[in-house]
Amino acid sequence: MDPGNSGEQVTIDINYDEIPEADERNSDLDARFRFFTDNGMFKTDEASNDYNAVKNSFLFGMGSLADQTRIVCIHKNLSSSLTGKARLNSFKIFQEAMARKCGGGDSNVRYAWYGAAKDDVREILRHGFSRLDKAAGNGETYGHGVHLSNSKFSMDSVLSSEMDENGLRHVLLCRVILGKMETVPSGSNQFHPSVKDYDSGVDNLAAPRRYIVWGCSMNSHIFLSHVVSFRFPCYEGSTSGTVPSSMLRVSTIIKILPMFLDPPKMALVYGFVNDHQANRITWSEFKQKVAEVSGGKLFSTILKLRGHD
């Protein structure tokens, strides 16, 4: 399940012309998801092709944590309201315009993930994107824009999500018009294309992991497709038996870090793990050493997934 480093997309085959019958819509009005269904989203059937396409893409991007991640529900944007239809039509118009700008060829539309708190998701459903991210989920900054993750790396957007009052997290699957991409270096304060030839930003042209859509394009070049609501069983509940809680925390951390760190850095981390398990260093010392290797912001974000201190 390791996504690897390739920038290629996971195949997601979604039928946007498939509209459920009126009596099928929102038949299961779970109170936890009313803010989705009240804003034009439809709960997809677990037996449908759409559900499985989105589910498989999401779990693929979770790497070694896929088996411990439980998808509770997937909602699809029907674009059935007047506003929803206008947003979809606008997206199609800009997609065609981008194709013409690119010489009549490919407008470079890709699927990408976006993670946020429940309140932010609610605002996006109602009003569209309005917030520019200053940092990616792993703590790195790539300019001021909307940061989305390559469809192969859903874990990156999970780091930007927050647990709601029901113990659920939510990530958005979006269709994104990228056009001609330019590399935006980590730490950049860029907030628009550097020259008119470019349309969007990316962390690495050869193997993109993160896409940056500038504020001027965020509500014309991003179309919300689905919302995935899920649980992290490995982050829930209390520890039991004789296994120290720090050991459980370490086991989770070393499943996430390989998605972001290269083998030499992971070799150092595994050395710290051995030292901690042998009681040669304390939990606080372990955290400090791993933060120095991985980057304090990334490590802090991982710890916040469960509220570790």
| Per-residue confidence (pLDDT) for residue 21, from 0 to 100 | 47
pLDDT tens digit string along 248-304? 577 777 778 888 888 888 889 888 888 888 889 888 898 899 889 888 778 887 777
The reported pLDDT for the residue numbered 306 is 55
- List the domain boundaries for the chain: 22-234, 238-304
CA distance 33 to 76: 12
Burial of 27 (0-12, 13-18, 19+ CB in 10 A): exposed
Q: What is the structure's pLDDT at 57?
A: 95
Residue with tokens 């919302």: 227
Global pTM?
0.78
Q: What is the CA radius of gyration of the chain?
A: 20
In contact, 79 and 87? CB cutoff 8 Å: yes
Which pLDDT does position 238 carry in this prediction? Answer: 37
Low-confidence ranges of the chain (pLDDT < 50): 1-2, 4-7, 21-27, 236-245, 308-309
Q: How far is CA 68 from CA 78, 79, 103, 231, 248, in A?
A: 30, 32, 45, 9, 14
pLDDT of residue 187: 82
Per residue in 230-255, pLDDT (tens digit) is 987 555 443 333 334 455 577 777 77
What class, spelled out in words, does domain 22-234 have in CATH? alpha beta
CA distances to 119, 146, 241 from 134, in Å: 18, 9, 42
pLDDT tens string 31-44: 888 888 888 889 99
